[in-house]
Amino acid sequence: MEATKTTEAQFNRFLKSAEAVKDAIPIMDLAPRYIDLQRSGGNYLGLCPFHSEKTTSFYLYADTNRYYCYGCKATGDVINLHHRCGNFGTLWEAVVSLAEEFGVTLPQHSDRWHEWQDEKGRRWHKAEEVLARAYQRRYFRLFGGYLDSIEDPDERKTEAAAFYEDLYTLARLSASYRMRSGDHE
């Protein structure tokens, strides 16, 4: 279960990183290191790096930021080009390499990771609250004995309620301390 979650988080991080790299780097800026390019209108073309040819059929398209070869039908984006021509073992390595070279900031964690952190925070807060209430009841039983000496029932009731509320601050501190010392069940 945890492993699945981790894999999913990593995959999401990869997708977001790949998007960031694709958005930031024009394929025209990367391609010249692998291919001799000539201009053709707003696009570029050259000899395909993926198959042997004598006439240029490898096109780079500015509007889609992708390549397409009319000879071998190879197609892809800036990451695929770097991955294949740069001989990277994985797409992830190609993404990281491009990000470092072109100064693209990669997302550190996925949205799901942040959601999970928020969820953990909420769970922690709730556990602390439950523990604080338990301390509050315990302290009331421990220190509430003096209430029996109040003869007037209404006065006793009012004092008991006030005392119980006052104990919350102490109970909250105790719960917080116990949670942070890792001594909670």
- DSSP of 128-172, one letter per residue? HHHHHHHHHHHHHHHHGGGGGG--SHHHHHHHHHHHHHHHHHHHH
CB within 8 Å of 70: residues ≥ 6 apart: 57, 58, 59
Q: Kindly tell me which residue out of 28, 71, 88, 92 binds Zn ion, with binding defined by CB under 5 A.
A: 71
For tokens 């695929």, the residue is: 80
Region binding Zn ion by CB under 5 A among candidate stretches 70-78, 105-113, 114-122, 157-165: 70-78
Closest approach, Cβ 69 to Zn ion, in A, equals 3
- Report the residue number, 74 or 167, with the smaller CB distance to Zn ion: 74
Place of tokens 């240029």: 56
Q: How far is the CB of 47 from Zn ion (least distance, A)?
A: 9
- Name the region of 124 (left: φ>0; alpha: ψ -120 to 50; beta: rest): alpha
What is the C-alpha to C-alpha distance for residues 48 and 65, in angstroms, rounded to an integer? 16
8 A C-beta contact, residue 126 and residue 138: no
Task: Please report, as residue ranges, which positions from 4 to 63 form the binding site for Zn ion (by CB under 5 A).
Answer: 48, 50-51
Per-residue x/- track, 117-156, Zn ion (CB under 5 A)? ----------------------------------------
Site for Zn ion in 72-91 (CB under 5 A): 72, 74
> How many residues line the site for Zn ion (CB under 5 A)?
7
Among 27, 35, 60, 69, indicate the residue that binds Zn ion (CB under 5 A). Answer: 69
* Residues that bind Zn ion in the complex, under the rule CB under 5 A: 48, 50-51, 69, 71-72, 74
